[in-house]
Amino acid sequence: MSIIAIVGRPNVGKSTLFNRLVKRREAIVDSVSGVTRDRHYGKSEWNGKEFSVIDTGGYVIGSDDIFEGEIRKQVQLAIDEADIILFVVDVEQGITPMDAEVAKILRQVEKPLFIAVNKVDNAMRDADAVEFYNLGLGEYYTISSINGSGTGELLDAIVEEIPEPDEDEVKDDELPRFAVVGRPNAGKSSFINALIGEDRNIVTNIAGTTRDSIDTKYNRFGFEFNLVDTAGIRKKSKVKEDLEFYSVMRAVRAVEHCDVAVLVIDATRGFEGQDEKIFWLAEKNRKGIVILVNKWDLIEKETNTMRDFEAKIRQTIAPFTDVPIIFISALTKQRLFKAIETAVEVFENRKRRIQTSKLNETMLEIMEHNPPPATKGKFIKIKYCMQLPTHTPQFAFFANLPQYIKDPYKRYVENQLREHYNFNGVPISIYFRQK
């Protein structure tokens, strides 16, 4: 699939154009310049051709922003990675020294290049756009990314440069989605960078560097899936700026749209209240869950350090304790492959289907030996059970008096299911119904 990189200085409307192209509110849009810090991927389609779009951080020179050097590096990486470059400029500001700097870089790039003069929403501004011939990059397209005018002509020209799609390619939509979630500064971006072996995300010791949730396709060691790095989820009281509020919402949405939530926690801080909330958010959404205890290399260890740490986490997340917990270090790459292997296993467990005849054979015998307690002198008999045809593991048990079956017995049935079938890391739903 061809990749189109949207580049330009901050606040020219790159993220607004990106959102329009991918038809989702993926990138955070704010009047604060420099909001997009990492490269941000999305998928788009025009005239029957699919392509990926990268929204980059604005190209900055000489600012006081600590991220300036990193943003410049990200833009350069996006240009290297892309097949087509889309250079966005702002008709209101005209050509700025920063635009001239970006143009200087782009003149050395031997790839199809398109200039989009943004914020052209009337005839007067259309005339003002002529100035951009002075960049020496050839023809330009006038657009308004807010209302969409001109984007059709621009896309017509862009897709002409895209070769016909290969039918054999695996569609990204069919790939499992693993969302890397956790509190700010737990090491989520470091974990992804260590996995894919390149600085895909900006990493600094400032919490909250990753503001958008970012997709990365992973294809190594026989595994293929989409990794989603999310902004750290903070407590509401800590979410002061609007920007961070949107980041939290984006992370929540990433959990809602993933298959497996990979919860990264900071070993030096332990399993805190916010980690617990993220865990229950994933459980409530019936997602597969893997807990990664990062920065394990920084912990002083004794004989039972790991066992005690794990026991404390399981005590906190009870009664749903059938969750894999892996101790890793993104810095030293300790157990990274094990983490990915486990996430794939959890994804497979979530899809597990049990044959009705085998399920009845196993579970009815167990429940006959240990039936639900009698209530008001009435005996409860469970006659039949089946797995429901749903995306996540859900089971229906048919009884004569389902209304008298209490939660402790439901937990007992769930534990028996987990004991006989591998649902490690996956929430199970159990229903008792009238036979």
Q: 31 a known binding residue?
A: no
Q: 193 a known binding residue?
A: no
Q: 168 a known binding residue?
A: no
Q: 232 a known binding residue?
A: yes
Q: 69 a known binding residue?
A: no
Q: 204 a known binding residue?
A: no
* DSSP conformational letter for 232: P
Q: 349 a known binding residue?
A: no
Query: What residue type is 155 in one-letter code?
Result: L
Q: 9 a known binding residue?
A: yes
Q: Six-digit token pair at 25? A: 């509110």
Q: 246 a known binding residue?
A: no
Q: 121 a known binding residue?
A: yes
Q: Is residue 386 classed as helix, strand or coil in its secondary structure?
A: strand
Q: 360 a known binding residue?
A: no
Q: 399 a known binding residue?
A: no
Q: 185 a known binding residue?
A: yes
d(CA 160, CA 136): 22
- For every residue of 273-315, DSSP letters joined together read HHHHHHHHHHHHTT-EEEEEEE-GGGS---TTHHHHHHHHHHH
Q: 122 a known binding residue?
A: no
Q: 421 a known binding residue?
A: no
Vertex 291: Cα angle to 285 and 296 (nearest 5): 155
Q: 65 a known binding residue?
A: no
In terms of DSSP bridges, do strands 49-55 and 40-46 run parallel, antiparallel, or are they unpaired?
antiparallel
d(CA 354, CA 59): 53
Q: 287 a known binding residue?
A: no
Q: 80 a known binding residue?
A: no
Strand partners, 264: 292
d(CA 28, CA 214): 11
Burial class from Cβ neighbours inside 10 Å (0-12, 13-18, 19+) for residue 142 reads buried
Q: 186 a known binding residue?
A: yes
d(CA 299, CA 286): 32
d(CA 385, CA 359): 7
Residues making up the chain, counted from first to last: 435
Note if the bond before 372 is cis, omega within 30 degrees.
no
Q: 123 a known binding residue?
A: no
Q: 351 a known binding residue?
A: no
Q: 62 a known binding residue?
A: no
Can you tell me which residue has the tokens 């009664």?
319
Q: 230 a known binding residue?
A: yes
Q: 295 a known binding residue?
A: yes
Vertex 68: Cα angle to 179 and 204 (nearest 5): 45
In terms of DSSP bridges, do strands 260-266 and 177-181 run parallel, antiparallel, or are they unpaired?
parallel
Q: 11 a known binding residue?
A: yes
d(CA 407, CA 413): 10
State CA 227 to chain mean position distance: 6
Q: 10 a known binding residue?
A: yes
Q: 120 a known binding residue?
A: yes
Q: 147 a known binding residue?
A: no
C-beta atoms surrounding 83 within 10 Å: 16
Q: Six-digit token pair at 238? A: 């800590």
Annotated binding site: 8-15, 55-59, 118-121, 182-189, 229-233, 294-297
Annotated binding site for GTP: 8-15, 55-59, 118-121, 182-189, 229-233, 294-297
